[in-house]
């Protein structure tokens, strides 16, 4: 039940502060970091007439630490597929769970209409040279028939009463088998206001005193400052594609295609044939996007807020804002000495990575850990000891790596350490020692205080009982996985005792946007072997009960202090 207290909590969180990176990056699609100054630049201010306002009037800066998730469900929609459609790989989604069924139907009709339009259109997208490339694939009557079409649609974002849906199409002509084919991809995006079912424009996501188009163009130009479009220089890579400038960038228009990301709240600008100045992929016909992370100039956390809860499911859940990684702001420290004089297979490496926008207290703490780790002399002494006790050549290593990230106001340090040694006789390796540990350390950047597991739950919540409940809920998952491999997951009468022992050994946690993971003093698989003694290939499944993600919504977000 959504009470006035719940709405008050939702409203209160809107005024909390957030640390936002001021840099430009590329993620799976190229990323641009937004500003985090807390003030609106005069160069990007705008005065929009009241008649053009969509949603509530909101002025930047807009401060928040986390988002309110929509309580929508997605269901599979049925459709009649032409023979050339790969029905197994094509998915039509429809939404369910809105109280207003008329709005829900409006949204579903638009998603279905766009899906069917894409799946029945046999023409390639209007890219240069496409018509010429497919002319060999006409039938006797002059109709263009593809050998396959796949269309997949999925929700990219569902929070703050907005919904963002992306549809991706892959169309093939000819046959790969006979090396006589060509293919194209196409992307369409739909962004909705769940209050009305109306589609959103880019400006609707920004505060009313910010010109969205000028904002994204300004930061895109920053990215391109050192790029000469006439050269062959690649100015950015994504996980899949390289991006070049095919012609001078003169700015995106107000009607540019975009979607919102559920992971970090970023606004993502589609790059494809509609933005010909960007050459995407090997042949210039691929699709990717520029990701502009959430910033205080974006107003959608308040624009579409409604005193009336829009969803049938009354439970409220939140998600933390993940700050994007910006390589331009990364600081790296490393020691990797040459130990070839000690032995050809002796390795030592320790490293620390943090970002110059992270808090001074966090950085100093990380540097202290880095400085205090055992130095290379300890490894050399161990190697000499092993040589006296074991035959053959010795292989030994010590890896100590510290990496950092920011989620909301929290800064997280992941400490990974591996110590190993082997005796090598001929072609055989004989293990001497192996130990791997992982620890998460989380700091509240506003207080420069390490946050412990006790601090994660509000007063009155038994965190051990809450964590144990979520661990036990994973039983169905591991039973399904083992059954798929022809094994049976044995639920020992000692399993709960084992999980309680692991909970007592928690030494840190890592926050994600919608879930958390724990680190432990003891190795989860080794502890499972001691408590349960099952077959070795089942130990991982017991360890998963401890190390898998645990979702905030399953704990009940109001039981967690991170959303207070």
Q: What is the pLDDT along the chain (564 residues), one digit of tens a residue?
A: 344 344 334 443 333 333 333 333 333 334 443 333 333 444 555 555 454 667 899 999 999 889 999 999 999 999 998 888 998 889 999 999 999 999 999 999 999 999 999 999 988 888 877 777 787 777 767 678 888 999 999 999 999 999 999 999 999 888 766 567 788 889 999 999 999 999 999 999 999 999 999 999 998 888 777 555 556 566 665 555 677 788 888 899 888 999 999 888 999 999 988 898 888 876 667 788 888 889 999 999 999 998 899 999 999 999 999 887 777 789 999 999 999 999 989 999 999 999 999 999 999 999 999 999 988 999 999 999 999 999 899 999 999 999 999 998 999 999 999 999 999 998 899 999 999 999 999 999 999 999 999 899 999 999 999 999 999 999 889 999 989 888 888 888 899 999 999 999 999 999 999 999 999 999 999 999 999 888 888 888 999 999 888 999 999 999 999 997
The three-class DSSP label of residue 226 is coil
CATH number of 11-320: 3.30.565.40
Write out the H or E segment, with its range, that includes residue 382. helix 376-389
Rg value, the chain, Cα? 27
The domain segmentation of the chain, as residue ranges, is 11-320, 326-451, 458-564
> What span, in angstroms and rounded, lies between the C-alpha atoms of 131 and 209?
44
Return the closest-CA partner of residue 324 out of 256, 244, 266. Answer: 266
State the average pLDDT for the chain: 85
Secondary structure (DSSP) of 307-365: SS--BSS----EEEPBPPP-GGGEEEEEE----TTT-TTEEEEEEEEEETTS-HHHHHH
Exposed/middle/buried for 493, CB within 10 Å: 0-12, 13-18, 19+? exposed
pLDDT tens profile 126-180? 887 777 778 777 776 767 888 899 999 999 999 999 999 999 999 988 876 656 7
> What span, in angstroms and rounded, lies between the C-alpha atoms of 64 and 82?
47
Region for 552 from its dihedrals, namely left if φ exceeds 0, alpha if ψ lies in -120 to 50, beta otherwise: alpha
CATH number of 326-451: 3.30.565.40
pLDDT tens profile 394-416? 999 999 999 999 998 999 999 99
Find residue 69's DSSP bridge partners.
Answer: 159
pLDDT tens profile 181-196? 788 889 999 999 999 9
CA angle 128, 130, 132 (to 5 degrees): 105
pTM of the model as a whole: 0.80
Residue whose entry in the numeric block shows the structure tokens 């930061």:
219
Say what the pLDDT of residue 181 is.
77
Range 520-526 contact pairs with CB under 8 angstroms and sequence separation of 24 or more:
520/546, 523/436, 523/437
Say what the pLDDT of residue 163 is.
98
User: Looking at 488-527, which runs of residues are DSSP E strands?
Assistant: 506-511, 515-520
Residue whose entry in the numeric block shows the structure tokens 């997951």:
489
Same fold, 11-320 and 326-451: yes
């Amino acid at each position: 039940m959504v009470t006035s207290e719940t709405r008050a909590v939702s409203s209160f969180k809107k005024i909390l502060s957030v640390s936002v990176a001021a840099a430009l990056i590329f993620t799976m699609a190229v990323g641009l970091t937004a500003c985090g100054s807390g003030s609106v630049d005069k160069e990007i201010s705008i005065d929009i007439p009241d008649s053009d306002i969509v949603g509530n009037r909101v002025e930047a800066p807009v401060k928040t630490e986390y988002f309110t998730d929509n309580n929508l469900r997605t269901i599979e929609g049925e459709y009649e597929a032409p023979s050339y459609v790969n029905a197994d790989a094509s998915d039509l989604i429809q939404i369910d769970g809105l109280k207003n069924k008329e709005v829900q139907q409006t949204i579903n009709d638009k998603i279905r209409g766009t899906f069917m339009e894409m799946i029945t259109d046999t023409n390639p997208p209007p890219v240069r040279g496409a018509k010429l490339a497919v002319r060999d694939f006409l039938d006797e009557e002059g109709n263009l028939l593809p050998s396959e079409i796949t269309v997949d649609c999925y929700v990219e974002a569902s929070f703050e009463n907005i919904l963002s849906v992306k549809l991706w199409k892959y169309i093939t002509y000819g046959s790969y088998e006979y090396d006589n084919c060509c293919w194209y991809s196409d992307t369409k995006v739909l962004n909705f206001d769940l209050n009305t079912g109306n589609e959103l424009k880019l400006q609707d996501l920004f505060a009313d005193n910010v010109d969205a188009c000028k904002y994204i163009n300004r930061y895109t130009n920053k990215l391109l400052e050192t790029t000469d479009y006439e050269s062959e220089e690649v100015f950015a890579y994504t996980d899949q594609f390289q991006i070049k400038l095919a012609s001078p960038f003169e700015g995106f228009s107000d009607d540019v295609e975009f979607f919102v990301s559920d992971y970090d709240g970023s606004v993502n600008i589609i790059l494809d044939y509609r933005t010909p100045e960007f050459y995407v992929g090997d042949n210039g016909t691929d699709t990717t996007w520029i990701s502009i992370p959430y910033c205080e100039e974006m107003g959608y956390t308040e624009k579409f807020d409604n005193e009336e809860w829009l969803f049938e499911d009354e439970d409220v859940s939140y998600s933390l804002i993940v700050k994007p990684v910006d390589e331009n702001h990364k600081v790296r420290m490393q020691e990797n000495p040459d130990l070839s004089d000690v032995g050809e297979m002796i390795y030592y490496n320790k490293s620390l990575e943090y970002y110059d926008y992270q808090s001074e207290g966090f950085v100093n703490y990380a540097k202290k850990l880095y400085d205090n780790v055992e130095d290379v002399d300890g490894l050399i002494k161990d190697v000499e000891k092993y040589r006296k006790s074991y035959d053959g050549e010795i292989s030994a290593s010590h890896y100590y790596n510290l990496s950092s990230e920011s989620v909301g106001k929290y800064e997280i340090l992941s400490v990974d350490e591996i110590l190993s040694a082997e005796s090598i006789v001929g072609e055989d390796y004989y293990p001497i020692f192996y130990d791997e540990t992982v620890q998460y350390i989380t700091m509240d950047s506003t207080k420069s205080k390490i946050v412990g597991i006790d601090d994660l739950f509000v007063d009155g919540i038994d965190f051990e009982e809450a964590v144990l409940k979520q661990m036990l809920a994973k039983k169905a998952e591991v039973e399904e996985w083992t059954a798929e491999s022809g094994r049976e997951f044995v639920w020992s009468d000692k399993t709960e005792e084992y999980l309680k022992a692991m909970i007592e050994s928690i030494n840190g946690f890592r926050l994600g946007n919608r879930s958390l993971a724990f680190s432990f003093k003891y190795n989860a698989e080794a502890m499972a072997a001691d408590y349960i003694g099952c077959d070795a290939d089942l130990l991982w499944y017991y360890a998963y009960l401890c190390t898998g993600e645990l979702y905030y919504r399953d704990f009940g977000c109001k039981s967690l202090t991170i959303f207070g």
